[in-house]
Amino acid sequence: MEITVLRDALKSGLSFTERACSKSTTLPILQCVSLVAEKNKATLSATDLEMGIRYVILSKTESEGGVAVPSRFFSQLAGFLQESQISLSSSSAGVRIASKTHDTLLKTMPLEDFPIIPSLQGDERALEIDARALCAGLAQIVSLTGQTQGRPEISGVFFAFQGDALRLAATDSFRLGEKTIPLPKNQEAGVSFILPQKTARELCAILQDQTGRIKIYAASSQVLFDYAFSDPAKGVSAQVVSRLVEGEYPKYQDVIPGNFKTKIVLERNALISHLRTASVFSGKLNDVLVSIDPKEQGVKIVTKNSEAGEHSSFISGDVTGEPLDISFNWKFFLDGASQFKAKDIEIGFAGEEAPALLKSAGTPEAYLYVMMPLRS
């Protein structure tokens, strides 16, 4: 193998692919990045056997071939090089990385030991979505996934394509987030899968600030996300391949309340500020009492701590319905409120022991957040 690539393209490719590298000491090949050179392009790949990332960059290829290079050394070296063009050539001794002022030989591992990452066959049907919208939607809910061996089906983000929209959902059984993203055109309905949390996070990192559309190819046990960069200097394309979480996702729509005894509309920033202040005096259960009185047109937030003391504050708002005293985990409450973009948040309460629903007030935001109260 002998190629010349742009340093910035190589750095970008390594920064993306090394996210999939494993720290496994029993399989050291998983600590490597595969570099395969073909005509006019070089493909960087990495996998931890559950997720794989493939990143294609432009190259001037003198001879084709491939190597498996330890990602830590490869990435660090690429970050220090200053010249705009980098030459890479392989031999039995390793891979030589050279520029005008640097000459480095990195030890390599046999490429034939590198695991095969599934690729497109050419006849798969693609679902398309705006890359920035997908990234923003995943960012709102990815932290809500549950991490329990007893219920693996909630350990990922649920994707449900419904023709004109994609619904993303995540829950840990104590709270739930749902994001609805309009699709650019009416697409195949009925396609659904559960994406592991790690893959969802890495997908957000790769797509951050990117524009254009991403294509999604879903199979029974795995999914492939294919994105072509608009700037050719950054790379030709990036692909993320992931196994899917097995199992049937819970029918979460059943827990989203529709009838409310009490509703309040509060300024989002005020609510966030009061919750953060109240958290200082919260107890071991992270509990905060929300006391709602329609006569006062506002909400009283109370916390008590046997060591620190107690605290109460009042937030003015629009209150309708019945008086209500209900306790929540302040961290869950704050997480939910922080994800909204609207100025005001509407919160509906179905009762003292029923879940509460948060949504943006006024202009619909296509984002819902449900949280369970703490039992008294």
Mean pLDDT for the chain?
Answer: 91
Q: What tokens does 300 get?
A: 């009283």
Annotated domain spans of the chain: 2-113, 127-253, 256-371
pLDDT at 208: 80
Are 130 and 219 contacting, i.e. CB atoms less than 8 angstroms apart? no
For residues 263 and 312, what is the distance between their CA atoms, to the nearest angstrom?
21
The top-level CATH class assigned to 256-371 is alpha beta
Can you read off the two tokens belonging to residue 236?
């030709």
Residue 129 has pLDDT above 60, yes or no: yes
Q: What is the pLDDT of residue 362?
A: 77
Rg (CA), the chain: 25
Residues 6+ apart with CB under 8 A from 199: 50, 51, 156, 240, 242
Class of domain 2-113: alpha beta
Residue 231 has pLDDT above 80, yes or no: no
Query: How high is the pLDDT of residue 188?
Result: 77
| Per-residue pLDDT at 206 exceeds 90 | no
The Cα angle at residue 368 between residues 316 and 353, in degrees rounded to 5: 70
Give residue 122's pLDDT band: very low, low, confident or very high (50, 70, 90). Answer: low
Mean pLDDT in residue range 222-239: 78
**Fold agreement (2-113, 127-253):** yes
Tell me which residue has tokens 């989002």: 268
209 or 22: whose pLDDT is higher? 22
Question: What is the structure's pLDDT at 376?
Answer: 63
Write down the pLDDT at residue 375. Answer: 81
Q: How far apart are alpha carbons 367 and 340 in whole angstroms?
A: 8
Using 50, 70 and 90 to split pLDDT, how confident is the model at 234? low
Distant-in-sequence, close-in-space partners of 247: CB < 8 Å, separation ≥ 6: 152, 153, 194
The three-class DSSP label of residue 16 is helix
Amino acid at 42: A
158 has pLDDT over 90: yes
Look up the CATH superfamily of 127-253. DNA Polymerase III, subunit A, domain 2 (3.10.150.10)
212-223 tens-digit pLDDT: 889 999 988 899
Give residue 205's pLDDT: 86
Predicted pLDDT of residue 296: 92
| 349 close to 261: Cβ distance less than 8 angstroms | yes
Predicted model pTM: 0.91
Distance CA 76, CA 86 (A): 14
The pLDDT-based confidence of 184 (bands split at 50, 70, 90) is confident
**Residue 307's pLDDT band (cuts 50, 70, 90):** confident
Q: If you average pLDDT over residues 67-90, what whole number do you get? A: 93
